Structure 1
Amino acid sequence: MAEKVAWILGTSLLTLLGIFLVGLPQVLSQRRARRLAKQMTDYNDGLSSVHEGLARLLQSDRRRSARNEFFRAMLQGAVGLFGLRGARVCVYLLDGREDDAQEASDADFYLKLQDYAGRNDVPRSSFHPDTDYGAAIIEAAIQQRQVTVSNRYATSVPLNYHTGTVWKSFFVIPLAGKDHVARGVLTVDTRESTVFTEEDITVGYLVARLIGVGVEEIYDAANEARPDAAMTIAQLFNSGISKDRGMEGK
């Protein structure tokens, strides 16, 4: 009797295991499909947001409220475009001398936070040249050089990582205006250690280019600049990133 019960239990367990193994791939496939669908929705929403944000700025009077709405729309859209978990996206603009940034030294400028979106922890308000980490970011902005730090313990980039700091990885994309004049940086950081992909950096350059067009409009609201900006937008979205890009690695 005991042997029969053991046989029945063993058979039942094997049957359940077989059902589980057969059904598991289907469940995982469904979850993956739902996750991919959400990522695609977030990406498309983000693309729409950055496009509309710039379009609204170009149609506005470029007053403070319009400028604030522009940065808010661009950064909120950017969060969806990147699709990175625990991400925060910030824009810092160069401030300091009134001269062309390319003709001044790094010490003449500092980076001032314009806006941010994503994680709720508030980013630093500025980067100044009197600190190693501040000077490094300002130099990247003025020299229009991209910086990536995936592992804060294995980098030559000066960092100010202290108790209470949330981010673990980040990358920096320079912002440029007309004639490649340096205007600031776009920063993307994540709560978890992240190995950023070429796709992440490419999206960063797309967002930075569009923000750069808007920033230039803010600096120079002359009517003749509008056709050039509209042409830049059209070229970017005609030859830019495809909406159906793969996101399985996010």
Structure 2
Amino acid sequence: MAATPSWPPRSAPRLFVGHTLAEGASVSINGQQAHYLAKVMRVREGDVVILCDDQTGEWTSTVENVGKRSVELHVASNLRPREDVPDLWLCAALLKKDRFDLVMEKATELGVARIMPIVTRRCVADKLNLERAQNIVTEAAEQCARTALPLIEAPIKLQALLHDWPQDRALYFADEMGGDPALDAFSSDQRASALLVGPEGGFDEAERAMIRAHPSARPISLGPRILRGETAAIVALAVWMAAKGDWSN
């Protein structure tokens, strides 16, 4: 007996759109997304496209018309609601562009709720193109079938981050000088969580002392080896997701 084809097709393109979706709605895709559908994926009338709006979840739609600059879609049915996102923030020091791109991409894939770029004394960058950053996390979410996008903040200086930090949220500080084993720390603390990861050169001594003096900060260790900033962020997120996130589901 032939296998029943999956529905919707696994090969169907996935896109996030900027407005709320509903059954029977018409959606016009323009710009780079239209180019992707028409020229890269080569969709035709009747083809299926999966749409997400970061509000109501994931929807099937069918192609009604492929024009020179736009693709018209008809929204058919809701496949699943917007996912429940684990309440985890990533406070990551800015790195060289390609490395911070990797952090944002992998943080999105791992399910983080919020990305907060941090400026420290040893950062090699102090600016972030938010439009470009949003495109990176959106494409990552489309690739890994997320139905929610992480919130991306504008860069903030470390001192300002600590000054305004919410008292009810644990700030796990990945300290290369040592701390509680990350898995033990995550498993034993029931507060809302955030991870703080430093730049290529690490935090300087004054910054480290300032962080450790903060009442919400808890130094953690990510093992016996010194990790790059991007590696530390990815590892910390993975361990947290295994200990307190949604991997068990």
TM-score normalized by the length of structure 1: 0.27
- Say which structure is richer in helix: 1
- Say which structure is richer in strand: 2
TM-score normalized by the length of structure 2: 0.27
Structure possessing the higher radius of gyration over alpha carbons: 1
